[in-house]
Chains A and B, each alone.
Chain A
């Protein structure tokens, strides 16, 4: 029993050690950020500490004087939720339509979205701004929300996903029972697709939450700004050495809520993926 077992155990411990080390690497920058958010600019410049400092209040005052992070938080949340909802529902709808109906144009749409997955976003950005301008949508949230109805990569992923998890035969029984096509989609297909949708939804949420360039260009009114734009704006504050702690604090404030949210999302998504991976 002995030698093999010892070897087995030690390899296993090594593997765990590796995982823990990797976890540390993932977490360390966050820890440094949190610590530095509580220290003054001078303290940060002159040395590193594992323990929090005492300048949180001062840093907060600097942040609060310059930007209204609470407002940015609400704005970002609002946009991100709208985006997530639209991406999830309409991508699922389209994916289902492409996967289960044979109609003329099906191939064309599928090819077009494959091609557009490869389009650099900067390519459309120049024209996109022009469009929003013509439609008088600048400084409103519509340009940040509506485009998520058409998310080629999500549709692509979900189409592949539903083809692999949902046999066509599932549709037959309800059709014979006379259920409407939309009802079948809502009651049968949507729940089956849920794990795949969840994967994409969290990505969409984070993508929207973190998006910088487009909100920066589209939004003019300070009260409508999103969190990343506000954090970037702190760079415009003079004498960064006295505000470095404040900058850390602003970043921390933008990160911590999403981590908490992730706890709930990720539970759903991870158990969802496991459950959805078709136990036969």
Chain B
């Protein structure tokens, strides 16, 4: 009896899958077992095949094109990003030869280098130095200046703003003029007030400001002191002010209203509205019911974020422009490194060279990816006049190229993620009125120094 019911339940589940899948039902997993488990040893025939471990599907496309062009085989293995760094640490810590190339995001690279996982790429150095965007070259160097990783991609950041609203409020949509409005945290606060008076919100939420948090000083200096300079205090104050005066729309990054705001008006939200719980539909209804609405003026994102905004803009497509903000920054990026323990280093280097230094590849990727920014300066320059219609016919590649020249990579440290996270948490606690700025800053120092006891709080820290 029980078995029957159990089976029935399972059958119902299976059937409900099958019923609506119409013709496709033959593909349930059991029918897919072409080979037995133990027969994975196909490495004999393809001795020259190189293996790439990566975080995203991009490199699969590169590998396909590489095979088309050169006939050489590249196997691309994609891992879940959450545990990727752990996996690399463990595998290469074991001096594995299972992979020839691995990727890393900029913040992972110093550890990979220090651990001795990444092979010397000096062979490519002169080309990289000449052809690629400066900061990607610097990010690929270890502490001694040896090149160990190269990126095909660059991820310069920018302020992505609404041209139509800019003309309405400021009388101009010129990127240089709007850039002035975002030049410092104080300027941003003033701009926010102006926009609010006109009925618009400067950002989705104050998280946008975090991208500007490294301007003139690193988070940790060479004496292991945690640096909270005037600029970061301004950032703190601006974030609190924007939040408490409702100058932002309180639509967090990646929430439904945040996405919707790219395409049209939002109902006026307060911090108490839980944006994570709203659905696109609910918003449309609210607006149809005559709720008071506003619009989000700008977003701060790396270049890949600009693509997200473009893709969600719907009717607003073409109304955006990009300009620089309080600091030039970059976010993310896929760097390729050769496994120090690999037996096929030359083949691996050839693939990296193909992906990063070959102008044809870069041009192809520019077109295929439809907006990804490549690290190849020559190709960017060659496309500098390309008018991007998603961004009001702005010459985006030209802009990015210029912007990247301003990135000071020496300000990046291994503690940045931890510091930014803790600083952000401190800001949130003050915004919500849970604590004072003084207390929040103390908490920030405590959190950072607890995790990294080697760091010290300098005597001139803005706490008592």
Say which residue of A27, A35, A133, A224 sits within 8 Å of B40 (CB atoms): A224
Query: Is A38 interfacial (CB 8 A cutoff)?
Result: yes
Assembled-state Cα–Cα distance A131/B6 (Å): 42
| Complex contact B98–A221 (CB within 8 A) | yes
Within 8 A of B (CB), among A229-280: 229, 232-233, 235-238, 252-253, 256-257, 259-260, 262-264, 266-267, 270
| Complex contact B94–A47 (CB within 8 A) | no
Query: Is B411 interfacial (CB 8 A cutoff)?
Result: no
State how many angstroms separate the Cβ of B370 from the closest Cβ of chain A: 13
Assembled-state Cα–Cα distance A247/B33 (Å): 21
Assembled-state Cα–Cα distance A217/B87 (Å): 6
Query: Is A156 interfacial (CB 8 A cutoff)?
Result: no
Assembled-state Cα–Cα distance A174/B7 (Å): 42
Say which residue of A38, A139, A262 sits within 8 Å of B16 (CB atoms): A38
Say which residue of A78, A220, A267 sits within 8 Å of B2 (CB atoms): A267
Assembled-state Cα–Cα distance A98/B389 (Å): 77
Residues of A contacting B16 in the complex (Cβ-Cβ under 8 angstroms): 34-35, 38, 52
Assembled-state Cα–Cα distance A221/B16 (Å): 34
| Complex contact B10–A56 (CB within 8 A) | no
| Complex contact B280–A34 (CB within 8 A) | no
| Complex contact B10–A259 (CB within 8 A) | yes
State how many angstroms separate the Cβ of B28 from the closest Cβ of chain A: 8
Q: Contact mask B6-44 → A, CB, 8 Å, 1/0?
A: 110110011011011111100111111111110010000
Query: Is B83 interfacial (CB 8 A cutoff)?
Result: yes
Residues of A contacting B256 in the complex (Cβ-Cβ under 8 angstroms): 45
| Complex contact B7–A220 (CB within 8 A) | no
**Which stretch of B74-82, B176-184, B433-441 is in the interface?**
B74-82
Query: Is B68 interfacial (CB 8 A cutoff)?
Result: no
Known: A236-B56, A253-B29. A259 touches B13 (CB 8 A): yes
Query: Is B114 interfacial (CB 8 A cutoff)?
Result: no
| Complex contact A70–B29 (CB within 8 A) | yes
Query: Is B55 interfacial (CB 8 A cutoff)?
Result: yes
Say which residue of B10, B32, B77, B82 sits within 8 Å of A69 (CB atoms): B32
Residues of B contacting A222 in the complex (Cβ-Cβ under 8 angstroms): 77
Query: Is A86 interfacial (CB 8 A cutoff)?
Result: no
Query: Is B90 interfacial (CB 8 A cutoff)?
Result: yes
Known: A69-B32, A259-B9. A38 touches B20 (CB 8 A): yes
Query: Is B244 interfacial (CB 8 A cutoff)?
Result: no
| Complex contact B3–A60 (CB within 8 A) | no
Assembled-state Cα–Cα distance A90/B56 (Å): 43
Assembled-state Cα–Cα distance A200/B38 (Å): 28
Query: Is A93 interfacial (CB 8 A cutoff)?
Result: no
Known: A47-B281, A235-B80. A69 touches B29 (CB 8 A): yes
Residues of B contacting A30 in the complex (Cβ-Cβ under 8 angstroms): 13
Known: A69-B29, A262-B6. A54 touches B279 (CB 8 A): no
| Complex contact A220–B20 (CB within 8 A) | no
Residues of B contacting A229 in the complex (Cβ-Cβ under 8 angstroms): 80
A-B contacts, CB under 8 A, total? 136
Assembled-state Cα–Cα distance A238/B54 (Å): 13
Known: A68-B32, A233-B78, A236-B55. A53 touches B20 (CB 8 A): yes
Assembled-state Cα–Cα distance A57/B21 (Å): 5
| Complex contact A57–B24 (CB within 8 A) | yes
| Complex contact B94–A238 (CB within 8 A) | no
State how many angstroms separate the Cβ of B313 from the closest Cβ of chain A: 16
State how many angstroms separate the Cβ of A158 from the closest Cβ of chain B: 26
Query: Is B388 interfacial (CB 8 A cutoff)?
Result: no
Say which residue of A56, A238, A262 sits within 8 Å of B21 (CB atoms): A56
Query: Is B414 interfacial (CB 8 A cutoff)?
Result: no
Residues of A contacting B81 in the complex (Cβ-Cβ under 8 angstroms): 235-236
Residues of A contacting B458 in the complex (Cβ-Cβ under 8 angstroms): none
| Complex contact A78–B37 (CB within 8 A) | yes
Query: Is A211 interfacial (CB 8 A cutoff)?
Result: no
Residues of A contacting B326 in the complex (Cβ-Cβ under 8 angstroms): none
Assembled-state Cα–Cα distance A34/B19 (Å): 12
Residues of A contacting B36 in the complex (Cβ-Cβ under 8 angstroms): 74
Query: Is A223 interfacial (CB 8 A cutoff)?
Result: yes
- Interchain residue pairs with CB less than 8 A apart (23): A34-B13, A37-B17, A38-B20, A38-B21, A45-B279, A46-B280, A46-B281, A56-B24, A68-B32, A70-B32, A70-B33, A71-B35, A73-B30, A138-B91, A216-B80, A221-B98, A232-B83, A233-B80, A235-B82, A256-B10, A257-B29, A260-B7, A266-B2
Chain B residues in the interface with A (C-beta under 8 A): 2-3, 6-7, 9-10, 13-14, 16-17, 19-24, 27-37, 40, 55-57, 77-83, 86-87, 90-91, 93-94, 96, 98-99, 256, 279-281
Given A73-B30, A236-B80, 8 other A-B contacts at CB below 8 A? A27-B9, A46-B281, A66-B57, A217-B90, A224-B37, A256-B17, A257-B30, A263-B3
Report, nearest first, the 8 A-B pairs whose CB atoms are least far apart: A70-B32, A56-B21, A133-B94, A263-B6, A70-B29, A52-B20, A57-B24, A73-B29
